[in-house]
């Protein structure tokens, strides 16, 4: 997945093209395209144009939801993608954003057929205040299964063929000298352990 692109009111959408072209050449399957607040019809139109551009390079466009983006919940994301009507548009659900906005696991059922990717991580307790959650998301996540988020219930509620990625920035370990490869390995092991613990 290509990371990441933001559709803001002022961004030139053609500025995405070089990265899309490079991603297509390298065999990328999707691009994370976030929608920032704007007039609704304009958001739908501009996201649709990005989907058309991405299709030229064989890319799915996955849009992410959080309290800091125009789309905050699964129902909002589903309604938006239905308005856009692009066959290569999907939802990307980040477990930290999902639970920090107090979304119920039951809402995942509304995204059936439109969820394209999950970003898996865990979070600490208590949750930081809403105005501090960006720092948590960028720097202070936990490996899956090592925090308080109800990830087993979440994973049990999504289709089995959904692609699961791992997004766990850990600034404290980085500052302690733990290498990127070591951080990736410990997160991979944690995710595999969590998934193996689920009922068949």
Residue-wise pLDDT for 55-110, tens only, equals 999 999 999 999 999 999 999 999 999 999 999 999 999 999 999 999 999 999 99
Full-model pTM: 0.94
Q: What is the pLDDT of residue 82?
A: 97
Cβ 20 vs Cβ 2: under 8 Å: yes
Q: How far apart are the first and last CA of the chain?
A: 28
Confidence class for position 200, pLDDT limits 50, 70, 90: confident
Per-residue model confidence (pLDDT) at position 159? 87
Q: pLDDT digit string (tens) for 102-127? A: 999 999 999 999 999 999 999 999 99
Query: Distance of CA 175 to CAs 56, 72, 107, 153, Å?
Result: 41, 32, 37, 33
Residue 2: predicted pLDDT: 97
Q: What is the reported pLDDT for 107?
A: 96
Average pLDDT, the chain: 96
The answer to whether the bond into 44 is cis (omega within 30° of 0) is no
Three-class SS of residue 43?
helix
| Predicted local distance difference test score (pLDDT) of residue 180 | 97
Looking at residue 53, its pLDDT comes to: 98
Q: Where are the beta strands (DSSP E) in the chain?
A: 2-7, 30-35, 60-64, 89-94, 115-120, 163-166
pLDDT of residue 8: 96
CB of 131 within 8 A of CB of 108? no
Rounded to whole angstroms, how far apart are CA atoms 118 and 126? Answer: 23
Measure Cα distances from 18 to 57, 106, 191 in Å.
11, 39, 33
pLDDT category at 175 given cuts 50, 70, 90 is: very high
138 has a pLDDT exceeding 80: yes
Q: Is the pLDDT of residue 131 over 90?
A: yes
Q: Which domains does the chain have, with CATH numbers?
A: 2-196 (3.20.20.150)
Q: What is the pLDDT of residue 160?
A: 85
């Amino acid at each position: 997945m290509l990371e990441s692109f933001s559709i803001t009111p002022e961004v030139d959408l053609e500025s995405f093209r070089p990265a899309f072209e490079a991603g297509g050449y390298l065999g990328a399957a999707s691009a994370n395209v976030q929608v920032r607040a704007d007039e609704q019809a304009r958001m739908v139109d501009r996201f649709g144009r990005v989907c058309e551009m991405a299709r030229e390079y064989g890319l799915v466009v996955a849009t992410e939801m959080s309290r800091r983006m125009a789309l905050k919940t699964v129902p909002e994301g589903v309604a938006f993608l239905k308005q856009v009507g692009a066959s290569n548009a999907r939802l990307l659900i980040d477990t930290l954003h999902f639970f920090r906005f107090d979304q119920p696991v039951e809402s995942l059922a509304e995204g059936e057929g439109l969820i394209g990717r999950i970003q898996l991580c865990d979070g600490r307790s208590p949750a930081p205040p809403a105005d501090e959650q960006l720092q948590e998301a960028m720097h202070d996540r936990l490996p899956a299964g090592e925090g308080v988020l109800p990830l087993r219930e979440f994973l049990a509620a999504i289709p089995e063929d959904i692609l699961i990625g791992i997004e766990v920035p850990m600034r404290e370990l980085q500052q302690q000298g733990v290498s990127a490869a070591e951080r990736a390995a410990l997160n991979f092991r944690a995710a595999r352990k969590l998934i193996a613990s689920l009922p068949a």
